[in-house]
Chains A and B, each alone.
Chain A
């Protein structure tokens, strides 16, 4: 080994701009901020429900503001992006082996979409009911 190896530092603030795959990764990480805010909104909704019909009506009125509608639309889009990108990597994290073969990845991804659809349907039915 030489006595003076040259060390190239990785920028702690701009590293993710260096490659498209890093930008994709960061885009996915950023979706968590929207999901966090939406979760807070959901907790507020539960609080409003607990405080009675008037509090809930006031909460709903706030949701009708253009800013709130815009936020909820963006939150929906980024949450779908977050979920789809997660489903796509599940075969890597949770491989399923049957006998001498691994179950093809698309079946594992498909199963996640299936469960997602069923859960959404149940929530919709409970909501309407």
Chain B
């Protein structure tokens, strides 16, 4: 029923898009994680102004549609003289957007470790940073892994936003194959399969990591 000739005849086009989707996802994963950790630290650090900045970031970015953030970087920034390609603009938007969710997951994980742990560590002579690193974070990481894994899976799927701003990803080329072959259903089925090739291993990987960390403690 599904016409595989669509895939075979347009394989180069699909693979070009797939490659860019992988790049955007990898950069997005690393970028959003780094930004997410920084923002989470700002939100829980015992310094009020940093808390405010972190809170503003999370509440602002998390509550705006990703599409608008992507448009801002693609067609908004050129107004101030910065022109980014669709791929770069989309990947930055993706990282910034996902980071707000990751920051929240990390903050929630750290704050779910009972307060008494920090107090006990501090009174036994550890500094705040030492206590964080040796006592709190090893416990928090187990709690944090599943929600972060979810965000990573979302990030891979959300990278399809690049298709709207000529970011040359899987969705973009899917649209083009569809418009040239006049076939919609089959074309997007293959697009979906390519996304699954990325998201299913990611999902399994997160599950494995979760189990392993549970065993270690």
A binds B: no
